[in-house]
Structure 1
Amino acid sequence: MSRITVDGVTKTFGETVALDDVSFEIPDGEFVIVLGVSGSGKSTLLRCMNGLAAPTEGTVTVDGEEVTGPRADVAMIFQQHNIIGQMTAFSNALTGSLNRTGFFESLLQFQDREDKYQALEALDTVGLLDEAQQTARRMSGGQQQRVGIARALVQNPNIMLADEPVASLDPGSSQQVMGYLRTAAEERGLTALISLHQVNLARKFGQRFIGLRDGEKVFDGYRDEFSMDVIDRIYGDIDTEGMFEAEDATDDEEAVA
């Protein structure tokens, strides 16, 4: 049975069609990249998949159960990190246990020892164990996004969704974050769906690719099918030169004031 099934999902906002009859299935353990330009429907698709938005038509099901709202087994990583700057990396990661401990208990770190161990383990997974007590606001953008990944892992999800997680990062940091996302998914056996616009990152890290254009699915296939013709189908006449970033860019790992 497929872990995720998107069946005929259409989402409209007034007269604007954000998604138009999108369907696909994702089996357990796949690492899927959703590609498309801004406005193609990527974010709307992920919001429908994690229950933050309801489809106008169609359904999303996880393990055979229709998604009608946020689920503890579906973690979401956002473009803007959404972490608390004055808290440490450890404290931010620990808030991933919110669904088990409650809001105030989580903020006051009243979690049990197992939750705290999981937070440290998640920071280790994303290469930040030595920075556990570093204040988040003093970390680089790439490090902050990795804290966001750690927080998602503490949620103990089966599915990990990430909405343009590297859009605001330099090329080196983007590659690091994508590498840690894939490592986390592989080590924990997660099903992952990541939205991107950078073609080279998609080709480097993706197993399967879903292309959206003007809210419609225009491609769904694997690495051996992901050709320049497919890229043209997804991006059309848009200049894709900036979407092929340098592979050897320097990572931004210095702390910021």
Structure 2
Amino acid sequence: MSTITVDGVTKRFGDTVALEDVSFEIDEGEFTIVMGVSGSGKSTLLRCLSGLLEPTEGEIYIDGEPVTGTNKNVALIFQQHNLVGQMSAYANALTGSLSRCSLVESVLQLQDEEEKYRALSALETVGLVDESQKKVRQMSGGQQQRVGIARALVQEPQVMLADEPVSSLDPGSAQEVMRYLRETTAERGLTTLTSLHQVNIARKFGHRFIGLHDGQKVFDGYRDDLTIDVIDRIYGDIDTEGMFVSDAETAGESSSPDGIEADGGRR
């Protein structure tokens, strides 16, 4: 497991300020959701954490080491899956081992048996081992995103980042993907940050929440602190009434990895 420190991070693209003086710390094994509307800076933050983008100002540390580029111990799940449709779920999951083998070995599936076992094990973890030979293009959006989670698990990271992993999915598929993401990262003790704009799904599956608005951190707390006033601060003038689920809809949802129940409902 890994700790994350974000210290005064600002990211500019020309005259546009995507992030402004953002700071926070994430403990080992914590499951954190970054909330905000599109354009609030969520994706920029995760790309800085993954090393795909370099902050204009400030520093990011993982286990006390500065992030200066991509890191094999940090996996990023993309919003649009980034899978190869003509390849099977198994072949896509197996590409998570690229940091440990050559591109040729990966394309020809010449990885050793241990790597192949990791791919099948990861697919089993996300409930897709029986679909392992199915071409990804024949799968639903929710299944494809679960393949993306499996691929990230094969990488064997210490930190898991997920950039709007359910934004293009229907509500049922979105909840299924979030359940697999939360459970699998808890089982493996991964420090996890996922960005979401849906308040109801965030409240149902989240433990800790960081709210961004116009690139600034406007909230950092836990579910009981996520009041309607805080939601309004994060989402501004957007009508969030339909973004909450009722207590009845969340009834029966298993507790989060840290033992805090998912309570749902508007407060």
TM-score normalised over the length of structure 2: 0.90
Does the alignment pair 1:131 with 2:105? no
Question: Within 5 Å, which residues of 2 pair with 1:209-248?
Answer: 209-244=209-244, 247=249
1:51 Cα deviation from its structure 2 partner: 0.3
Aligned positions of 1:89-168 closer than 5 A: 89-168=89-168
- Per-residue deviation, residues 21-76 of structure 1 (Å, max 9, x unmatched): 00000010000000000000000000000000000000111001100111000000
1:153-185, Cα deviation, whole Å (9 max, x unpaired): 000000000000000000000000000000111
Q: Distance in 2 between matches of 1:223 and 1:243?
A: 15
Ranges in structure 2 where 5+ consecutive residues have no aligned partner: 251-267
Q: Which residue of 1 aligns with 2:177?
A: 177
Indicate the SS of the match to 1:201. helix
> What amino acid is the match of 1:59?
E
Inter-partner Cα distance in structure 2 for 1:242 and 1:55:
35
* Shift in Å, 1:241: 3.5
How far did residue 226 of structure 1 move? 1.2
Equivalent position amino acid for 1:36 in 2: G
Distance apart, 1:243 and its partner CA: 2.8
What RMSD over aligned residues (CA atoms) do the two structures have, in Å?
A: 1.4
Structure 1 residues without counterparts, runs of 5 or longer = 249-257
Paired position in structure 1 for 2:258:
none
CA distance in 2, matches of 1:233, 1:209: 13
Q: Which residue of 1 aligns with 2:259?
A: none
Secondary structure of the structure 1 residue equivalent to 2:182: helix
Q: CA deviation at 1:245?
A: 6.2
Label 1:2 to 1:137 Cα distance change in 2 as closer, same or farther (>3 A): closer
Aligned-pair identity (%) = 72
Separation in 2, partners of 1:172, 1:45: 27
